[in-house]
Amino acid sequence: MNLSVEEAFEMVSYERLTPEEVHFSGAALLDNDESTDADLKEGDPELPLLPQSPRCSITAALLTLGGLIVVLSAVWLLGTLFWIHNPPSTESHRPPSPKSQNGTGLQPESCSQVPEGWRFDCYPERNVVVTEDMCHARNCCFIQSSRGNVSAQNGVPWCFYTPDYPSYELMSIVDTEMGKVGKLLRNKKTYYPKDIDALQLEVLFEEDHRLRVKITDPTEKRYEVPIDVPVVHKRASNPSYTVDFIKEPFGLIVKRTQTGAVLLNTSIAPLFYADQFLQMSSSLPTRFIYGLGEHRSNFLHDVQWNTLTMWARDVPPMELTNLYGVHPFYLSMEADGNAHGFFMLNSNAMDVVLQPAPAVTWRMIGGILDFYIFLGPDPSSVIGQYLDVVGKPAMPIYWALGYHLCRWGYKTSNKTWSVVKEMRNYGIPQDVQWNDIDYMDRSLDFTYDPSGFSTLPDLVKDLQRHDQHYVMILDPGISNSQPPGSYWPFDEGKKKGIFINDSNGDILIGKVWPGLTAFPDFSNPDTHEWWYQNLQRFHNKVPFDGVWIDMNEPSNFFDGSLNGCPDNELENPPYTPGILGGTLKGKTVCASARQKISVHYNIHSLYGLMEAQATESALRRITKKRPFIISRSTFPSQGKYSGHWLGDNRSQWKDLATSIPGMLTFNILGIPLIGADICGFGGSTTEELCVRWTQLGAFYPFTRNHNSIDEQDQEPTAFSPAARTAMKEAILLRYSLFPHLYTLFHHAHVSGRTVATPLLFQFPTDEKTYGIDKQFLWGKSLLVTPVLDAGRDYVVGYFPKGLWYDFHTGNSLISSGEEIKLEAPADKINLHLREGSVIPTQRPNTTLWVSSGQPLHLIVSLSEDGRAKGDLYWDDGETIDSYESNQYAYIYFTVEQNTMMSEVLHNHEEATYITVETASFYGVKAKPENVTVNSQEAAFTYLDNQVLTVTDLGLNLSHNFTISWM
C-alpha cells in the first residue's frame, strides 16, 4: 500500500514482514487501529492485505483495559525493586538480550520459526567458529546446523537476527520537489563501533523508470564515489513504481505499479550504518539474478548462500574470489518475464550475499548507501537505464574489432615482426599486433629495450604501412630506483608530487616488474597531465596506436609497501569482507595510503577506471582519433573509456567455456568491448582447443590471441595446415560480419544495448533461456552455438520457439523451444539467424581497412509471414564523436509483401563509397517468376531450400532502393 505522510503517522505501529509474507505478497502489513479502521472501507486500496481482526465489544474492552492496568502496575513495582538493587548500565544504547517466552532458554521462540532460507547472518566474520555465547552476545538467534560441527562459510548461518532485531526508526518524512526526505533514528547500539545514530533518507523520483535512494549522515560529510551521474531537477511525472515506508523497524518497499511485484523490501533484516560497517538486506522477486562482477561463475548466479566479494585484486580468474574489477550492479528477472536492475553506488570493499529466500545483503565498510532501481521492464531497457546513469560505452575505432595477436615472450621485435609476416604470408586476417612487458628496457614504463627491440619503431611503421596497428602494455608502477636524472617519468613525477603517499606523507614504495616502484595517483588531475606528457614523449619514438593498461588494481608484489602499513582502523576495519588473503593490503598498496581525493581505503577499486580516464584523454590529444584502450581493472562507467579482457586465463577447456558468462556479464555491465585470451594465456594449448577457441573467439566483441612466456606457440600459423585453415576461416567469417558488428557497437554507444547478448534478453518469457551461457546472440538475431568440449563433432544447442535459419546455408529449422543436436565438424562453428532479420555482411580481407571498402552482401531471414528488418550504421571508423557531429550514414532495411526497401535515414559521403552487390533471402516459399531491382528486372537464383539470391546489384548505399519478387 502506498501511504501518504499523514496516513503513515496515523498508524499506531508497524510490523516487520514475516519471510512468508514477503515472498508471496511483499506488502507492508500494518497493525490495526480503531482510529483508522473507521476510515478504511472494503476494497479500499489502502486496506492491509491480511484480514482485519474483529472488533471487541465495549464491555470486553473495559475488562481488558482493567487487566492491563493491573499487570502494568505489578511490572512497574517489580521493576522498581530490581532497579534499586541493579542500577542501569552505562551502555544505555545496548539492545536488550534475547529473552525466552517460556523462561527456559536464552532466545525467543520466534527464532525457531525463521525458515533457513530467511536467516540473515548476524556473525559474518570469516574464519570464526561461532559459539552460542558469541552469538547471544550480539543478541541474535543461535541454531546450530545439523550438517556438521563447523559453521560453513557459505552455508546456513548458525547465528542470525531475531525477527524484531533493533534497527532504525523512521521519525518523520516529508514531500520534496524531487520525492521525499525522512529522518531515521537508532536508539539501540549495534556490535560494530561508531554507529551513526541519526540518518537522512532521501528518495528521488528521478525518472518514470528510475528511482534513487540515498541514506547519509546529515551532520558529517562522508566519502561518496566521484563518478558523474545525472543530476535531475524535475520529479518523474508518471513513475512505474510505488514506494512504501515502514516506521519501526524502518523498512523501504518498492513495487512495480503495473504488476505489484516487490522489487525491494529492506524490512526483512535490520539496517546497519556505522562508520566502517554498512549493511542492508532486501528480498528478491525470484532466484534469477545476474551481474555483480567481476567474478568467475555462471552467468546466472547461485543464490544458495553465495557471497560475492568486491575489492579489485590481481589474481588469475578462479571461482569464489574477488577478481580485477568491481561492479555492484545486478539485473533480476521477475516471475512474469519483466526485469529490473539495482545499482549500489559504492566503491568500498564489500560483500554481496545471495541466499535462497531469495534475498540479497549488501555489506560495505565505508561510504554511504546510495542506490538506484531501474524498472525496465525488459532486460535490454534495464541495461540502457543503468547506462544512462554511469555512462554509455564509447564507439570503438574500427580496427579495434579486428583480430589481435599478442604474447608475453616474443623477446625481440624481430621475432614479433616475423609472426606478423607469417600471418600475411598465409593470408590470415590481422589488424593489430601487441607486445607485453618484454619490449621494455628493464621493465621500465615508456622505454623499449635497445638491444632486443631496437627495431620496434620500424616494426610499428611497417604495420601502419600495411593498414595494421600496434598496441603496447603499460603498468602503473614507476621505478624509483634509477640514478637521479636518468629516468624522467619518476624524476618529473616526484617533482610534481603526483605519486600515492603513505600515511606519513612520503611517497609509498611498492614492488612490481621493474623492482621498487612508486604509484601514480590518478585521482589527481596533475597526474593526468604528467601521464599525457610521458605518452607523448614515447609516441615520438614509437608511434603506437593504442594502449593496454595492466596491473592496475593496483598490483603490488608487497602487501602494502616496502615499509609495511600502520596498524590502524583503515588497515584493520571492524569487519573485513571475504577478500583473497584476508586483508585490504594484500598484493596492493596500504589502505591508509593518501591520494588526492581520499584515502586509498575508499578509492582502491577506482584505480583502473581513473587510469583509463587519464589514458583516454591523452590518446585523444596524441592521435586525434578514437582512443583504443584495454584495461584489466574496471569499475562502473569504464565502458566510456576502455574495453576489458577477462584476465590471465589458462589453456583449458573449462576456461574456454567460462569465457562466455564472463563476456555476457560485462556486456550487461556496460563494457561491450570484451573478450578472453584466445587459446588461453597460461599453460600450453592443444591444436583442437585452439581451433575451437579461435572459432568462439571470432565472436568475442574484442578478439585477441594472447600467450604467456615460454609456452608453446599458439598463433594460427603454428599449427597444422588443417587447423590453420579452420582458424583462418573463422577469422574471415568475423571480418565478413564487420558491418553488422560495427552497427551493434553503434547501438551500444547510443542506446546502451548489448553486443554479445544473453538469450533471455530476447526471450524473457522463456524461462529455459534464463540459465543459458553456452550460447549467445550477437545483437538480436545471430545465434552462436560453439563447441566447448574436447573430442566433439557435434554440439547441442537450445533454440527458442520460432523459425531459425542456418547462417551458412539458409536451411530452415522450426523449434518449439527445444534443444537440438547440431553437426559441428572441426572446421565449423554453428551460426543461426533468427527469423525477421536483415544482416549486412561484407567481402572479407586481411585487414578491416581493406574489408570495409568491399561490397555488401545482405542476408535476409524471413519470418513465417514474410517480414524482416535490419539496419546499418557507417562512418569513417576513426573520427572522434562521429555520431554526435552528424558525420555518419544510417540505413534502415525492411521486408514485407515480397519487397525489400532500404531507407537512408541519415546520409554521409562515406556511404557513397559502398555498394550493395548481392542479397540473399532465406525462407522464400516459392520460386519467383521474376525479380526486379528499382523496377528493373534482375538475374536471380532459387534453391530447393527456399533461398533466393539476387546478384550483380551494384546499388549505392547512399540511395534508397527496392528489391521485389513475384
- At 103-153, the pLDDT tens digits run 334 688 899 999 999 999 999 999 899 999 999 999 999 998 765 444 445
Mean pLDDT lowest among 35-44, 237-246, 490-499: 35-44
Query: Taking 50 as the threshold, does the pLDDT of residue 88 lie above it?
Result: no
Report pLDDT digits (tens) over 6-65.
333 333 222 333 333 333 222 332 233 333 332 322 333 332 222 333 333 434 443 444
State residue 739's pLDDT score.
98
State residue 99's pLDDT score.
41
Alpha carbon separation from 712 to 394, 435, 727 (Å, rounded): 35, 17, 17
- Does the active-site annotation cover 793? no
* Structural contact between residues 653 and 790, judged by C-beta atoms closer than 8 angstroms: yes
Query: Taking 90 as the threshold, does the pLDDT of residue 350 lie above it?
Result: yes
State residue 146's pLDDT score.
63
Query: Taking 90 as the threshold, does the pLDDT of residue 945 lie above it?
Result: yes
pLDDT level of residue 358 (50, 70, 90 thresholds): very high
Report pLDDT digits (tens) over 561-612.
999 999 999 999 999 999 999 999 999 999 999 999 999 999 999 999 999 9
Q: How far apart are CA 375 and CA 752, in angstroms?
A: 15
Query: Taking 50 as the threshold, does the pLDDT of residue 97 lie above it?
Result: no
Mean pLDDT lowest among 64-68, 366-370, 680-684, 769-773: 64-68
* Structural contact between residues 517 and 479, judged by C-beta atoms closer than 8 angstroms: yes
State residue 147's pLDDT score.
58
Report pLDDT digits (tens) over 383-406.
999 999 999 999 999 999 999 999
Task: For CA atoms 535, 537, 538, 540, give the dihedral sign.
Answer: positive
Better-predicted residue by pLDDT, 961 or 32: 961
Q: How far apart are CA 347 and CA 335, in angstroms?
A: 31
Q: Which one from 553, 611, 878, 917 is the annotated catalytic residue?
A: 553
* Structural contact between residues 163 and 242, judged by C-beta atoms closer than 8 angstroms: no
Chain CA centroid to CA 239, Å: 25
pLDDT > 70 fraction of the chain, expressed in percent and rounded: 88
State residue 187's pLDDT score.
87
State residue 145's pLDDT score.
75
The count of C-alpha atoms lying within 13 angstroms of the C-alpha of 609, restricted to the half-sphere facing its C-beta, is 24
How many Cβ atoms from other residues are within 10 Å of residue 429's Cβ? Answer: 23
Burial 515-550 (b: 16+ CB within 10 A, else e): eebbbbbbbbeebbebbbbbbeebbeebebbbbbbb
State residue 106's pLDDT score.
63
- Does the active-site annotation cover 553? yes
State residue 55's pLDDT score.
37
C-alpha cell at 416: 614479433
pLDDT level of residue 154 (50, 70, 90 thresholds): low
Alpha carbon separation from 921 to 10, 844, 855 (Å, rounded): 67, 20, 17
Query: What is the residue-averaged pLDDT of the chain?
Result: 90
State residue 86's pLDDT score.
34
State residue 50's pLDDT score.
27
Region 733-760 average pLDDT: 98
3-state secondary structure of 504: coil
The count of C-alpha atoms lying within 13 angstroms of the C-alpha of 254, restricted to the half-sphere facing its C-beta, is 25
pLDDT > 90 fraction of the chain, expressed in percent and rounded: 87
* Structural contact between residues 789 and 796, judged by C-beta atoms closer than 8 angstroms: no
Q: Which one from 550, 655, 715, 878 is the annotated catalytic residue?
A: 550
Q: How far apart are CA 42 and CA 375, in angstroms?
A: 31
pLDDT level of residue 808 (50, 70, 90 thresholds): very high
Q: How far apart are CA 293 and CA 256, in angstroms?
A: 26
Report pLDDT digits (tens) over 521-557.
999 999 999 999 999 999 999 999 999 999 999 999 9
SS3 letters across 220-281: CCCCCCCCCCCCCCCCCCCCCEEEEEECCCCEEEEEECCCCCEEEEHHHCCCEEECCEEEEE
3-state secondary structure of 9: helix
Q: How far apart are CA 5 and CA 25, in angstroms?
A: 23
Burial 100-122 (b: 16+ CB within 10 A, else e): eeeeeebbbeebeebeebbbbbb
Region 303-318 average pLDDT: 97
State residue 917's pLDDT score.
98
The one-letter code for the residue type at 196 is: I
Q: Sheet of 830-834: strands edge to edge?
A: 756-757, 776-778, 782-785, 830-834, 802-806, 812-815
- Taking only Cα atoms into account, the Rg of the chain, rounded to an integer number of angstroms, comes to 31
3-state secondary structure of 344: strand
Q: What is the pTM of this model?
A: 0.90
* Structural contact between residues 924 and 947, judged by C-beta atoms closer than 8 angstroms: yes
Helix 413-425 vs helix 456-465: crossing angle, to nearest 10:
20
Cis status of the peptide bond prior to 377, with omega within 30 of 0: yes
pLDDT level of residue 85 (50, 70, 90 thresholds): very low
Which has the closest alpha carbon to 127: 753, 575, 648, 762? 575
C-alpha cell at 214: 540515498
**Diameter of the chain measured on Cα atoms:** 108
Rounded to a whole number of angstroms, the distance between the first and last alpha carbons of the chain is 59
